[in-house]
Amino acid sequence: MKVGIRRDAPPFGFLDQDKWQGYCVTKMYYLANHLGEVLNRPVRFEPIPSVLDEDSPNNRYRMVANGKAHLECGPNTIKSAPPLSGVTYSTAFYVSGTHFIIRPEMRGIFKPDTSLAGETIGVLPGSNTHTLISSTYPLAKIEDARYKSSNGRELGVRDVVERRIDAFASDGMLLMAEALRQGLTFQDFTLIPDRPLSCDFYGIILPDQDTEWKTKIDQFITDLRWDIILEKSLGVDSIYYQGPRQAAYEKCAN
């Protein structure tokens, strides 16, 4: 079973000392075991690095559309129409949303319920978050060109801590993961607002012509316990993700 996995999207998929880690990695091992039981034969999980670059043969959508991977697991926002023909989404396996990462002393000063006029906000160019932030806060100073590379989120978090920008906007789970990866503590950063600005439902990318495969994946997702997989994936660090996940669930899933 060939699965596209991002190397730069903790806690969903990342490399730690050249070893695959993350929520999607653990989940795909569970899926391989599940399929092995259903088919009564061994099923081996083979991760393949996937990327966002639309021109790359390892683009997350293209690798599924051309059969290089059977599916791709990562923070893929479910859209009404996928950006590439030949693919579709599974049922949502995760819900998240947009937060700002700021320095703790900025809480009460940087207020998302205001216009944020004059505040400098970093955001990944071309992302759904970019559209959301630029339309919601037209009076803010949006900085995006600096963050166009694959390590844009890493740089954005660092720029907040080093006071180069006032805030960086992105998926709350991904921001938390990046901050922890950099060794930061809650003395260095905080996420606001308490509830996310948006509702982003993530799905697995699948080939659109194989309805039986999609049915199997959807059922697997429905039966899976998210909290158990996260704890097995991240160990003691999983506690840091419960807050953003619960906030998104309360806003978006009820």
Compare 138 and 16 and report the one with higher pLDDT. Answer: 138
The distance in angstroms from the start CA to the end CA of the chain is: 34
φ/ψ of 86, rounded to 5, equals: 95, 0
Q: What's the topology of domain 98-192?
A: D-Maltodextrin-Binding Protein; domain 2 (3.40.190)
Over range 46-70, report the average pLDDT. 92
Mean pLDDT of the chain: 92
Tens digits of residue pLDDT in 157-176: 999 999 999 999 999 989 99
Domain boundaries, the chain: 2-95+199-252, 98-192
Name the β-bridge partners of 119: none
In this prediction the pTM is 0.86
Confidence tier at 46 by pLDDT (50, 70, 90): very high
The length of the chain is 254
Judge if 2-95+199-252 and 98-192 fold alike in CATH terms.
yes
pLDDT score, position 227: 67
pLDDT score, position 198: 94
φ/ψ of 235, rounded to 5, equals: 65, -135
Over range 180-195, report the average pLDDT. 94
Confidence tier at 249 by pLDDT (50, 70, 90): confident
Q: May I ask the CATH class of domain 2-95+199-252?
A: alpha beta
pLDDT score, position 53: 80
Strands (E) located in the chain: 2-6, 8-9, 13-16, 19-21, 46-50, 71-73, 87-89, 94-96, 98-102, 120-122, 141-143, 167-171, 190-192, 200-202, 205-207
Distance CA 176, CA 160 (A): 13
pLDDT score, position 225: 74
Given a cut of 80, whether residue 147 has pLDDT beyond it is yes
pLDDT score, position 224: 81
Given a cut of 70, whether residue 254 has pLDDT beyond it is no
Over range 70-83, report the average pLDDT. 93
pLDDT score, position 136: 98
Tens digits of residue pLDDT in 102-146: 999 999 999 999 999 999 999 998 888 999 999 999 999 999 999
